[in-house]
Amino acid sequence: MPSSPTAASDSHHYPATVAPDEPVLNISELSKSYVMGEVQVDALKSVSVKFYAGELVVLLGASGSGKSTLINIIGGLDVPSSGKLFFHGREITAATEAELTAYRRRSIGFVFQFYNLISSLTALENVQLVTEIAEHPMPAKEALLLVGLGHRLDHFPAQLSGGEQQRVAIARAIAKRPELLLCDEPTGALDFQTGKLVLDVIEKVNRELGTTTLVITHNASIAGMADRVVRLRSGEIVEDRKNLERLSPSELVW
């Protein structure tokens, strides 16, 4: 592993291409505990794992296994209690608030379980929220076309179905052409058919844009569509395996 340059030496530039054997993300000994109400929760216990360019990884685990905490730390939304996280060899865990903001702005796309659309903005405006601040975004319309919502541009979230809302959220996440797409239970709030439709879109993005994609889910069936499956339990990695064959979402059954 190359010696990790400090965050300050290359404050805002992240290389877009790397040697295939170099990980996009290198996580070592990451731990996280936090207090909720009056209870202390140990969400992650010394987790180490690497993710490579273009991979579609499914992070599998029951509720409370620590997968959301992990993805939040990877996305620069949260800081670990201990351990390190390198993005293209740069230590994200040592970044300042401003550097984290820039990291999220340039490199990360988020998709949440509950879509988290801004209810006062239309589908198009929700995507524009991102294209507005990104450096080389795709046009907001194009992103919505990509997720099959070209006909719903001017609808407010309240006028869209759950699946449509999630597709807007995906369009919003990919419009900036992120290097890393992080999806937190993207089908958690959706029925089977709609869920598959959303997974289709995620798969398409990974395939067509080559975006490294992490999908968090508690649904083991979804693991079939991944290049690689990482299983978490009680804050620890208990399994890390490669799928011999990647299934298309339409072939999934749950």
What residues line the site for other proteins (CB under 8 A)? Answer: 36-38, 68-69, 72-73, 75-79, 97-98, 101-106, 108, 110, 112, 114, 116, 118, 120-121, 125-126, 128-130, 132-134, 172, 176
116 vs 243 by CB, closer to other proteins: 116
The nearest distance, CB 93 to other proteins, in angstroms, is 14
102 vs 247 by CB, closer to other proteins: 102
18 vs 121 by CB, closer to other proteins: 121
Which residues contact residue 32 at a Cβ distance below 8 angstroms, ignoring those fewer than 6 apart?
A: 42, 43, 44, 66, 69, 73, 78, 80, 81, 235
The nearest distance, CB 114 to other proteins, in angstroms, is 6
H or E segment to which residue 242 belongs: strand 236-242
Biggest CA–CA distance in the chain, Å, is: 51
Neighbours of 191 (CB within 10 A): 12
Percentages helix, strand, coil for the chain (3-state, rounded to 5) are 35, 25, 40
Cα 50 versus chain centre, distance = 15
The nearest distance, CB 121 to other proteins, in angstroms, is 5
The nearest distance, CB 228 to other proteins, in angstroms, is 24
45 vs 104 by CB, closer to other proteins: 104
